[in-house]
Every structure is written in structure tokens, then in C-alpha cells.
């Protein structure tokens, strides 16, 4: 008897082709992708938080298909890179939120880069956090327009200094309102043809700053300052989401605009989260399960709930599928299109196991830690938090309180083995070791200290996050080191942003066999800049660093280490390189 497999394969391929043709025949939808920052699953009234007001997002949920078990990574940059590329962040070497381990390589194909050839205008408004130097910036990764900031957090939410296509200027207002203003202007300008508007708000990330009237409202409801500030930012985000949706209505675009709302990880404090275990940075359920609503009026069933497990890597293939756009050639995707689930046309759905890890760092060449990590099946979650192993049946124990490791050792061993195989395969390109991408020099390149390796006793003033600086130049071996990729030999002007306890110190820059140094002519010990923090910040304080122009240096083409050393009493935040001519 002849096998039925060839016939089944032919029928399946024909069905896929007809489905793709049907989608392509429809008008291509505009896409509005809104991403909250550090907002948990429980930060919505519609998810049971009845002391919080989120009327817009509650209504959006009722108008949308809800992915009820939508998972992201436990921290920020990994989620953003996976969401934009459809590939797991571990493959992308995006393994942390700082120290150049948040950088997504420019060769990765993003949603924006896939949509542009199909005639989409592309704009990103808010927090990028996947690289601050071209080609790893938003504009280097396919966005025509970028308005916002590149780092992991922003220091002052009132009248912020934000970048617009390379130009930094102060913008009056509260940062979430300002970001929404820019996105609204983009939608207005691009109303006549398809657009992809990506709005990664930075609410409700720290530092804890919020509109005063909203903060007072939640304090009056009995919340401690931390929760009051978070909920004030969430309500303001809800309001600005409403402004974006109202603009679609005003312009007659709502019917042909697909709106996707999600968050980048679990909540950034211990607060209501639907009884789930864990928060941001945790590989338990509460650190990774977030809200996800997808609305397309008349095309997707309002109020539908999808129970199957889904993940951030599914966003790219899903959006491209809805748009009838093929992804340009590139490495294989980890995600899958959710269109059949969303449309309700899936007769069967493959059983998946979703893997992820928590953030990790280290020096280049050191082994990537295997744990903390997790494997999530449709029914169970296996977790190794770095100290202990767990197995939970989420059908009966959604709060992950009953460790079944001793009762179900075969299942635990099976998931542990699957996780280890996935981890080894995903990290194979770097042999399971930490490996940063070098920073590509352009006409103007800024090298912030958090993206460097500190050696010989030099240390970060804080934790190596944004706005941090290097101190501890008490020995001749103390140094800051960046890895550079130089496309062509050129002469650069070097400026160092610094503080100094006294005049007479030196700053020295070495790269590619050449050296330049400058003398500090005056002390500069700036005070902390007051900021409207509602809760003491855990990031470093803000202060003004003085520029020191130390001269010109020739940097030859190729890969090089740029090393900065200084004398005792000097602190360094950033090195700026401005190309002035090609080297002779």
C-alpha cells in the first residue's frame, strides 16, 4: 500500500499557500505594538487588582483576543530582542541589561526590517535598550524614526532630554505623555499607508517618579509609596494607551489596525500578581507571565481567550503572517505564527516546551552559568533557580507552592535534560561562554562606562547600570576597556566625561598601538542633581560630568581594545570619539 504521507504533505502545503494568499489579498494592517516596562500580569483591574484603575486596558482586553499564558523573559533587554527578532535572546547573546550584554547585533532581522520592503513606515517611540551604537540602534535595525532613549532606564521623567533621530533635546512634560505625543504625530503623518508603530513605554520602571495627583490618589487608597508610584505610572500609561487608540478612531484607522499590548517581564516589586510566585528576574511563573491583548476589529473575535502557552518569540512570525509579509533570509526562527490560534482555525496545535533563563553576565571567555533556568510545558513548570530544583503542576498549583520533584522524578529529569540540551544548542556559537559584540565606530561614537570591562582594581561606583561611572584608579593597572570594531582607519578627537578631586591628574587613552593623554586643569566635584523620586532610587545619583578634550588619535582598521587609565581621584563616565578624517 502506498503511504498517505505525500498526499497529506501536499494538502498541508496547499492549505498553507491558500491561507497566505488569503491574508496577502486583504489590506495590509497597520500595526501598533505597545510594550509596558516592568508591569506585571496583576497590574490591571481586569486581572483582579480592584484597587487599581486601568479602564482603557480593561476595555482593550474585552475587545481583543487575550493570550492567557503569554511568556516573556524575566528581564528587559532579552524580552525586547526576542520579541523584535523572533529568535531566542540566548542565541542573540542578549543575556543581560547592561555591560554590553544587552546589545542585539545589527545582522539580526527585526519586525521593522521585514515590514519596510512591503511599504510600511516604521517608528519606535520610547525605550530601545538593545544597543546605543549603530547598527544596533533602532534606526540601525529598520526603524525610519526613533524618539526616546537607548538605555535601560531614564533618570528624570519630567521635562526629559530625549533623542529624535540622533538629536537630543529637552521635551516639556511627563515622559510617558511625551512618548505618546511623538507616537501620535507619527500615526498622523503616516495615516495614508501602512505603518508599524512600536511604542515601548518605560512605565513603570524605576526610578519611582509619577504625576503628583496620581501618586496622591494611590497614597490615599492606602498604598505604600512604592506601590503608589507604580500604580500612578500604570494609570498614566493606561491613559496614554487610550490616546493612541482614540487617534486610530479619529483617523478612521481602527478597523485596519492590529493592536498588540504586552509587558517585558514580571512586576518590579512584590505586589499583587494574581497569586503567582516570583517577580521580575525570577524564572518562576510570576516573573515571566504577562498580559497580552491582540485586537483587530472584525478580524479577530473580541473577548476570545487563548489558553495555549505562547512566548515573545511568536510575535514576529505572527505579525508578519497577518501582514502577508515574508521574513527576509536569516537564521531560523524560534517562534511560530499564532494566527491559527488567534483566528480559531487551528484544528490541532503542537505541544510545546518553552525555555528561558534569567539574566547573567561575566567577563568575555567565562562560562555562561546554566542556571537559573526553566522549562514550561502546557501543564508543568520545571525550575532550577541556581540553588534548588522544582517541578510544579500548574493545573492544580498555579501559585507554585507544591514541589513535585520527589513525586515525579521521571518528568523532572526529562524536562531538566530538555532544558540542558536547549541551553547547549542555543549557546553553541560561543561554546557556552560570554562573548560581547564589539562596538562599531562611526562618525560619532559614545562609549559609556557600563559597556566596558573594568580591570586592575577599577570598579563601578554603582552596579554597572546606566549613568554609572568608573572609580578606583589607585594603581597603574586600573583601567576601563572597550572592544571596538573599526571599519576604516581614521583620526578621532577624544573627549572624556570626568570628575576630579583636584587639578593635575591625567587621563590616558590607548588603542591600536597609539596613545593620547590629557591633563586635568581644575577640580570638578559636582553635587548630586535633585530628582523628583517618590522612593529612594537604587540606581546611582545623577550628576554633571565635565568634558575633557584630550586630543586626537589615529585608530587603525580592525578589532582593537580601547583602554583608558587615569590617576587617583579621577572618575570617568563616558568616552566620546568623533571622527574628523580618514587616516593617511
Instruction: Give yes or no for a contact between 209 and 158, defined as CB atoms under 8 angstroms apart.
Output: yes
Residue 69, all three cell numbers: 499564558
Report residue 292 CA to chain centroid gap: 16
Dist. CA 93–CA 103, nearest whole Å:
8
Give the strand pairing for 459-460 and 195-200. unpaired
Helix, strand or coil for residue 2?
Answer: coil
Mark whether 76 is an active-site residue.
yes
Residues with Cβ within 8 Å of 359's Cβ and at least 6 positions away in sequence, in order, are: 74, 75, 78, 95, 96, 97, 281
- The active-site residue out of 47, 129, 384, 498 is 129
Sequence-separated (6 or more) residues with CB below 8 Å from residue 50: none
Tell me if residue 47 is catalytic.
no
User: Which is the catalytic residue, given 46, 76, 124, 292?
Assistant: 76
> Hey, what long-range contacts does 336-344 have (CB within 8 A, 24 or more apart)?
338/67, 338/306, 338/310, 338/314, 339/19, 339/23, 341/306, 341/308, 341/310, 342/65, 342/294, 342/300, 342/304, 342/306, 342/318, 343/299, 343/300, 344/301, 344/304
Q: What sections of 256-334 are H helices per DSSP?
A: 285-288, 315-323
Residue 181 CA: distances (Å) to CA of 37, 174, 188, 262, 308: 18, 11, 11, 20, 36
User: What is the grid cell recorded at 188?
Assistant: 498622523
- Specify the DSSP class assigned to residue 234: H
Residue pair 493/521 in contact by the 8 Å Cβ criterion: no
Maximum CA extent, the chain: 91
Continuous segment of H or E residues that includes residue 482: strand 479-486
Residues recognised as catalytic: 76, 129
Amino acid at each position: 500500500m502506498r503511504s498517505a504521507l505525500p498526499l497529506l504533505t501536499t494538502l498541508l502545503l496547499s492549505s498553507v499557500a491558500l491561507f497566505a494568499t488569503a491574508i496577502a489579498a486583504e489590506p495590509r494592517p497597520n500595526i501598533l505594538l505597545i510594550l509596558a516596562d516592568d508591569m506585571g500580569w496583576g497590574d490591571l483591574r481586569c486581572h483582579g487588582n480592584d484597587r487599581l484603575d486601568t479602564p482603557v486596558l480593561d476595555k482593550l482586553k474585552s475587545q481583543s483576543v487575550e493570550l492567557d499564558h503569554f511568556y516573556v523573559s524575566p528581564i528587559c533587554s532579552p524580552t525586547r530582542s526576542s520579541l523584535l527578532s523572533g529568535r531566542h535572546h540566548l542565541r542573540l547573546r542578549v543575556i543581560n541589561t547592561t555591560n554590553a550584554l544587552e546589545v542585539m547585533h545589527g545582522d539580526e532581522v527585526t519586525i521593522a526590517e521585514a515590514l519596510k520592503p512591503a511599504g510600511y513606515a516604521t517608528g519606535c517611540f520610547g525605550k530601545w535598550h538593545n544597543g546605543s551604537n549603530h547598527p544596533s540602534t533602532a534606526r540601525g535595525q529598520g526603524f525610519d524614526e526613533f524618539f526616546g532613549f537607548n538605555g535601560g532606564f531614564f533618570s528624570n521623567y519630567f521635562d526629559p532630554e530625549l533623542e529624535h533621530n540622533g538629536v537630543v533635546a529637552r521635551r516639556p512634560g511627563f515622559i510617558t505623555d511625551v512618548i505618546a505625543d511623538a507616537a501620535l504625530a507619527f500615526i498622523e503623518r503616516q495615516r495614508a499607508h501602512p505603518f508599524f508603530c512600536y511604542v515601548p513605554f518605560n512605565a513603570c520602571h524605576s526610578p519611582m517618579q509619577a504625576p503628583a495627583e496620581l501618586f496622591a490618589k494611590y497614597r490615599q487608597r492606602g498604598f505604600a509609596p512604592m506601590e503608589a508610584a507604580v500604580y500612578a505610572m500604570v494609570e498614566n500609561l493606561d491613559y496614554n494607551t487610550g490616546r493612541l487608540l482614540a487617534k486610530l478612531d479619529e483617523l478612521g484607522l481602527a478597523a485596519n489596525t492590529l493592536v498588540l499590548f504586552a509587558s517585558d517581564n514580571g512586576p518590579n516589586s512584590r505586589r499583587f500578581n494574581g497569586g503567582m510566585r516570583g517577580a521580575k528576574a525570577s524564572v518562576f511563573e510570576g516573573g515571566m507571565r504577562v498580559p497580552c491583548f491582540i485586537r483587530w476589529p472584525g478580524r479577530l473575535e473580541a473577548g476570545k481567550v487563548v489558553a495555549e502557552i505562547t512566548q515573545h518569540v511568536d510575535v514576529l512570525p505572527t505579525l508578519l503572517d497577518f501582514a502577508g509579509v515574508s521574513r527576509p533570509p536569516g537564521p531560523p526562527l524560534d517562534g511560530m505564527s499564532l494566527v491559527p490560534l488567534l483566528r480559531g482555525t487551528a484544528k490541532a496545535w503542537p505541544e510545546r516546551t518553552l525555555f528561558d533563563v534569567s539574566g547573567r553576565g561575566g567577563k568575555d571567555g567565562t562560562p555562561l552559568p546554566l542556571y537559573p533556568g526553566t522549562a514550561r510545558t502546557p501543564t508543568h513548570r520545571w525550575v532550577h533557580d541556581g540553588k534548588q530544583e522544582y517541578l510544579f503542576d500548574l493545573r492544580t498549583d498555579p501559585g507554585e507552592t507544591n514541589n513535585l520533584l520527589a513525586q515525579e522524578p521521571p518528568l523532572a529529569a526529562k524536562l531538566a535534560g530538555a532544558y540542558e540540551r536547549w541551553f547547549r544548542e542555543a549557546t553553541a556559537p560561543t561554546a557556552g561562554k560570554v562573548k560581547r559584540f564589539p562596538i562599531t565606530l562611526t562618525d560619532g561614537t559614545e562609549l559609556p562606562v557600563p559597556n566596558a570591562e573594568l580591570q586592575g582594581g577599577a570598579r563601578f561606583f554603582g552596579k554597572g547600570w546606566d549613568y554609572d561611572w568608573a572609580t578606583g584608579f589607585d594603581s597603574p593597572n586600573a583601567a576601563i576597556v572597550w572592544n571596538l570594531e573599526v571599519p576604516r582607519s581614521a583620526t578621532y578627537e577624544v573627549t572624556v566625561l570626568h570628575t576630579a578631586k583636584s587639578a593635575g591628574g591625567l587621563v590616558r587613552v590607548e588603542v591600536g598601538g597609539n596613545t593620547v593623554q590629557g591633563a586635568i586643569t581644575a577640580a570638578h566635584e559636582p553635587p548630586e542633581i535633585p530628582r523628583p523620586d517618590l522612593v529612594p532610587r537604587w540606581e546611582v545619583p545623577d550628576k554633571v560630568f565635565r568634558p575633557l578634550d584630550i586630543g586626537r588619535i589615529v585608530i587603525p582598521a580592525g578589532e582593537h581594545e580601547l583602554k583608558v587609565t587615569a590617576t587617583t581621584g579621577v572618575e570617568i563616565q563616558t568616552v566620546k570619539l568623533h571622527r574628523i578624517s580618514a587616516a593617511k
